[in-house]
Structure 1
């Protein structure tokens, strides 16, 4: 439960720069594009996938360790 709460807040915080990218003035887009495309968006997708299917990943990892 605690890990999911942490992932949820990371997911929300990573979404803030994406909203800034979408609603920023057009002349500012080249400044925001690389970090948004290559850092914030992939990390937001990763945290979303971990919240959604993280239990299967943890089960797979625990079976390999045993």
Structure 2
């Protein structure tokens, strides 16, 4: 439960700069492009996948270690 809550807040916080990138004026796009593409978007996708299918990943990791 705590892990999901942490992933949810990371997902929400990381998505804020993406909204800024989408709705910012065209002149400011080059400033936001690299951090958005290489940091914020991959983190948002990763946390979304972990919230969605994290239980299967944990089960797979636990079965391999046992």
Under a length normalisation based on structure 2, what TM-score does the superposition of the two structures give? 0.98
Report how many aligned residue pairs link the two structures. 66
> What residue in structure 2 maps to residue 42 of structure 1?
42
> What residue in structure 2 maps to residue 24 of structure 1?
24
- C-alpha distance in 1 between matches for 2:38 and 2:2: 28
Unaligned runs of 5+ residues in structure 1 are none
Q: CA RMSD in A?
A: 0.4
Under a length normalisation based on structure 1, what TM-score does the superposition of the two structures give? 0.98
Unaligned runs of 5+ residues in structure 2 are none
